[in-house]
């Protein structure tokens, strides 16, 4: 067996032994154990003997702009996470969807217009510092910087690992055949091919 494999085996045994002790652990928290695959309810739990305060903290907001379970393993199973969004003057957060999470935004600086749509309505607001707005789960939404300076927004999600789906990436960044897009949208082939070219899609 290769050295790499030996390391993994050793690692594996370390975990294997820690489970048995796990039988007495309580439900105070479940820090993500990335050595095992995720389940529909989140990642398996790290043995409590290996958990430290660092598992519940992160300085990642400035670097990655996210504080998701990958950044804070202690978020696992808690159904909450955060992100920091910088929006330049005239900039925006394009139309997107979180299929698995509601989003609450707190404006930290600047002025923005935020909104979401349903089949029957548009719900839109102009927001300034310390204003709060909520996007219910799975609804198409956007943010536009409508102020005269950069805007900073803190976003929190009702999931420790929210999925972020930019609408036009879904439509034009993959190899979804143009004839199918034509049949399932109101766009013609020329428009579709132009957008695919912009976003790097094919077909």
Enumerate the known binding-site residues: 96, 98, 103, 141
CB of 147 to a copy of itself, least distance (A): 13
Instruction: Please work out, in degrees rounded to the nearest 5, the angle formed at the alpha carbon of residue 43 by the alpha carbons of 41 and 136.
Output: 45
> Are the C-beta atoms of 77 and 41 separated by less than 8 Å?
yes
Which distant-in-sequence residues (6+ apart) come within 8 Å of 172 by Cβ? 181, 192, 195, 196, 198, 199, 201
The CA-based dihedral angle spanning residues 68, 70, 75, 79, taken in that order and rounded to the nearest 10 degrees: 60
| Interface residue with a copy of itself, options 3, 15, 147, 153 (CB under 8 A) | 15
CB of 130 to a copy of itself, least distance (A): 4
Q: Is 193 a residue that touches a copy of itself (CB under 8 A)? A: no
d(C-alpha 85, C-alpha 154), whole Å: 6
CB of 189 to a copy of itself, least distance (A): 14
Most distant pair of Cα atoms in the chain: their distance: 63
Rule CB under 8 A: which of 61-80 touch a copy of itself? 61-62, 67, 69-72, 74-80
Closer residue to a copy of itself in complex, CB, 42/147: 42
Residues of the binding site for Mn(2+): 96, 98, 103, 141
Residue count at the site for a copy of itself (CB under 8 A)?
136
d(C-alpha 149, C-alpha 72), whole Å: 31
| Interface residue with a copy of itself, options 89, 149, 174, 189 (CB under 8 A) | 174
> Are the C-beta atoms of 140 and 94 separated by less than 8 Å?
no
Rule CB under 8 A: which of 137-166 touch a copy of itself? 137-140, 142, 144, 154, 156-159, 161-166
Rule CB under 8 A: which of 110-139 touch a copy of itself? 113, 115-125, 127-128, 130-139
Q: Is 28 a residue that touches a copy of itself (CB under 8 A)? A: yes
Rule CB under 8 A: which of 89-108 touch a copy of itself? 90, 92-95, 97-102, 104, 106, 108
Instruction: Please work out, in degrees rounded to the nearest 5, the angle formed at the alpha carbon of residue 74 by the alpha carbons of 154 and 22.
Output: 165
């Amino acid at each position: 067996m290769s050295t790499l494999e030996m390391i993994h085996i050793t690692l594996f045994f370390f975990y294997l032994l820690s489970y048995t002790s796990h039988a007495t652990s309580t439900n105070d928290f479940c820090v993500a154990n990335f050595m095992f695959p995720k389940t529909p309810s989140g990642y398996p739990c790290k043995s409590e003997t290996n958990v430290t305060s660092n598992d519940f903290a992160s300085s990642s907001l400035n670097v990655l702009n996210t504080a998701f379970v990958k950044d804070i393993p202690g978020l696992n199973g808690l159904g909450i996470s955060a992100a920091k969004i910088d929006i330049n003057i005239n900039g925006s957060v394009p139309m997107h969807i979180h299929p698995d999470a509601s989003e609450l935004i707190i404006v930290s600086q600047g002025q923005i217009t935020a909104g979401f749509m349903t089949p029957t309505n548009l719900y839109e607001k102009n927001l300034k510092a310390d204003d709060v707005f909520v996007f219910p789960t799975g609804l198409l939404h956007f943010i536009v910087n409508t102020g005269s300076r950069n805007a900073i927004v803190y976003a929190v999600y009702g999931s420790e690992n929210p999925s972020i789906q930019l609408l036009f990436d879904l439509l034009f960044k993959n190899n979804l055949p143009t004839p199918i897009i034509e049949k399932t949208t109101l766009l013609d082939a020329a428009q579709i091919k132009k957008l695919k070219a912009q976003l790097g899609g094919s077909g």
